[in-house]
Structure formats: structure tokens, C-alpha cells
Structure 1
Amino acid sequence: MSMDSDLALILGLVIGFLAIPAIVSAYSDGRRPIAAILVLLIAAGLVAFAASSRPGGYRLAEIPDVFYTVVARFLN
């Protein structure tokens, strides 16, 4: 099963959102956020893959609809 662009976009956004608190936590503890930055780069790669593989890319207004479509696909 190949990853379609909608799923890649949502995974990239969710993973990127979850990496931000890890970066802040590492900085507040005085550690280098190497793992968190690596996760953020992976998330950026997923979003870039999604944007480049969908003709015309994504608009910001489409993201909630894409999110609900991906979630509904996995719940059904």
C-alpha cells in the first residue's frame, strides 16, 4: 500500500505539531533537541512530499477537509 498525499500531509502536520513541545522541553532542560529536530525534519519531508505529489498542491483552507477525510477513512 502506497502512502497517498492526503495521508502524508496529515501525518506530517501531526508529527510536526508534536515535535514542537519536545523542542521547547529540550531547550528548557538545557539539552540539545537533536531527536526533536530530526522528527521535525521528517514531518517537513512528509508535508513537502504531499505538496509535490498532489497536482496544484494544497490550500490552507483545504487542510481541515483533508484531515476529516483521512480520519473518516480510517474510522470506517
Structure 2
Amino acid sequence: MNTDYLLTIGMLIGLFSIPAMLSAYADLRPPRFSMAAFILAMALMAYAYASHPGGYDAADIPNVVVSVIADIIK
């Protein structure tokens, strides 16, 4: 799988897991699933960064996400 897809999927999972963690803490529940999702997101992004030749720069990330979305729509 393309590392751009892995980075985008990891960022999307991480984005959705943060509100779930906050909700669990607010309701005094343990954030088991949301923390597991966050760890999965971090692992996906770390693997994508390590597998991509030369790594990713911070300025490249918006272009990567837009290109993945454009590739899915196309």
C-alpha cells in the first residue's frame, strides 16, 4: 500500500480518536477503544514516515492528503 494512503488513514483515525478519548474522560470511563485507535494511528503514521524515501516534511502533508483524496475521487 502506498505510504501516502497510510499517512492519511493514520491521520484520519487519530483525528477521530481524540474526541472519543475526551468524551471517555469526561464520562469517567476508561478510554480503551479510543486509546487503541490512537495508538494504531500513531503506528500507521510512524510506519508511513519510516517507509517513505526521505520521509515527509511538515509542508508536504497537506499536499499528500489532497492527492490521496483526489486519487480516491478520481
TM-score for the superposition, normalised by structure 1: 0.95
Secondary structure, aligned partner of 1:30: coil
Cross-structure match for 2:56? 58
Alignment of 1:22 with 2:17, yes or no, is no
**Count of aligned residue pairs for this structure pair:** 74
Give every structure 1 segment of 4 or more consecutive aligned residues whose post-TM-superposition deviation is greater than 3 Å: none
Q: CA deviation at 1:55?
A: 1.1
Q: CA deviation at 1:60?
A: 0.6
- Structure 1 spans left out of the alignment, 5+ residues: none
CA distance in 2, matches of 1:35, 1:71: 26
Cross-structure match for 1:44? 42
Q: CA deviation at 1:54?
A: 0.4
Q: CA deviation at 1:65?
A: 0.4
**Match for 2:70 among 69, 72, 75?**
72
Cross-structure match for 1:32? 30
Q: CA deviation at 1:33?
A: 0.2
- Structure 2 spans left out of the alignment, 5+ residues: none
TM-align CA RMSD: 0.5
Identity %: 41
